[in-house]
Amino acid sequence: MVVPRGWTGMDHHAIPADHQGMTSFRVLPKVELHCHVEGTMRPTTVVDLARRNGIALPTADPTELYRYDSLDGFLEIFWLVQSTLGTRDDWARLGHESVVDAASWGVVHRESFFTPARHLAAGQDLADVVAGLDEGMAAAEQETGTTCFLIADIDRAYGPGAGLALVERLVELRRAGAPGTERVVGVGMDSTELGIDPATFAPAYDAARAAGLRLTAHQGENSPASAITTCLDVLGVERVDHALPVLDDPDLTARVRDERIGLTVCPTSNILIANSFPRLADHPLPRMYDAGLLASVNTDDPALIDLGLDEEYAAVAEAFGWDWARMVEVALIGVESSWLDEDAKRVLRDRIAATPEAD
C-alpha cells in the first residue's frame, strides 16, 4: 500500500489499498468544486518558496509536515504552507502548477478557493494575489484546456470585519476592471468552525450578493446540521462545502434535496484531515445519494494528502463498490453543481457521457 501523506496511523483499511492502481478514472472528464489552491502546492514548491521568502520550515522534507490529528491541527500546517506565498510571482507559479496538475488527473473544470486573509494582514495587496493567480492559471488553461474559476474565501479566524473588508476590496477591484478579477466568480468561507456562528458573517455575504457574486460556505466539517441551516437561511449560500451532518436533520435533508443545493463533499479529506470517520467505507456519501442529494466528489487539499481527483474517484468507487456507470453519474453531479453557464454544462455533460471506460 502506498500511504497518503496525510496518514495518521489509522487502520490500514481506512483508504482502499490498491486505489492508486485504478487509473481508469483519469480518462473520465471531471469537475472539481472543492479545492483550495494553496492546498495544491507541490512539496518542492513549498521548500523553494520558503527558502526564497525566508520562511523557516520545521523540516526540509515537507511530507513530514503532512500529519494531522484534527481539522485545527491540519489548519496549522495549511497556514504554514500559505505563508510561503510572498509575491505576485509566487501566486502565479502556484496558479499555473495547480491547473497543470489538475489536468493530469482528468479535471476539465475547477472552481478553486483562495484564502488571502493572512497575506492581506501581512501587507500584500489583494490585487496582486488575484492578478498573480490569474496569470498562472491563464497560461495553464492555454496549455491544458482545463478551465478554472476562483472563489475568494473568508477566513473565519480573522472575524466578520475582515471578511467584509475582503469582499468590499474585491468588489472595488472588479468595478475597476483590475486584472484577474473576472476569474473570481464567488465568495466562500473556510477555516475553523468550532465556536463560530456563521450568521455573524452576514454583512460580508450581503455585500457579495449585492455585487452579483456566487455564494458558498464551508460548514459541517466539524459543526452540526443547524449551522448548515444558518448558512442557507442567513447567508443565502447556493452550495455548502463538506456538509457532513446534513442527514442528521430530516427537514434540512429534504430542503437540500428539493432545492438542489450542491454539497461539495471531500471523502478522503474527511478521513485524513478532519478524522471524521475511521474508514472511507464509513463515509455517509452513499446515504447522501440514497437521499437524493446533489453531492459532488472532490479532493479539498490534494497536495497535502497526496491524492489527485482521479485517485479520489477510484478510492470512492472501490470503497462503495461503484462501477463505471455510477462514477459517470458522480461526474455529472459535479457539472450540475458548478457555476458554469448552461451551454458549458451541456457540452461537458455530453463529453462525460461519451467517454468510454478505459481498459
CB within 8 Å of 82: residues ≥ 6 apart:
38, 115, 118, 119
111, 221, 311, 312: which is the annotated catalytic residue? 221
Establish whether 221 is a catalytic residue. Answer: yes
pLDDT tens across the length of the chain (359 residues): 222 333 333 333 355 544 444 568 999 999 999 999 999 999 999 999 999 999 999 887 877 777 777 778 888 888 999 999 999 999 999 999 999 999 999 999 999 999 999 999 999 999 999 999 999 999 999 999 999 999 999 999 999 999 999 999 999 999 999 999 999 999 999 998 989 999 999 999 999 999 999 999 999 999 999 999 999 999 999 999 999 999 999 999 999 999 999 999 999 999 988 888 999 999 999 999 999 999 999 999 999 999 999 999 999 999 999 999 999 999 999 999 999 999 999 999 999 999 999 87
Q: List the domain boundaries for the chain.
A: 22-348
Return phi, psi of residue 263, to 5°.
Answer: -115, 120
What DSSP designation does 264 have? E
pTM of the model: 0.93
CB within 8 Å of 63: residues ≥ 6 apart:
5, 43, 306
CATH number of 22-348: 3.20.20.140
Helix/strand/coil for 153: strand
Q: Is the dihedral of CA 244, 8, 32, 173 positive or negative?
A: positive
* 107 and 146 Cβ atoms separated by less than 8 Å: yes
CB within 8 Å of 173: residues ≥ 6 apart:
126, 127, 130, 181
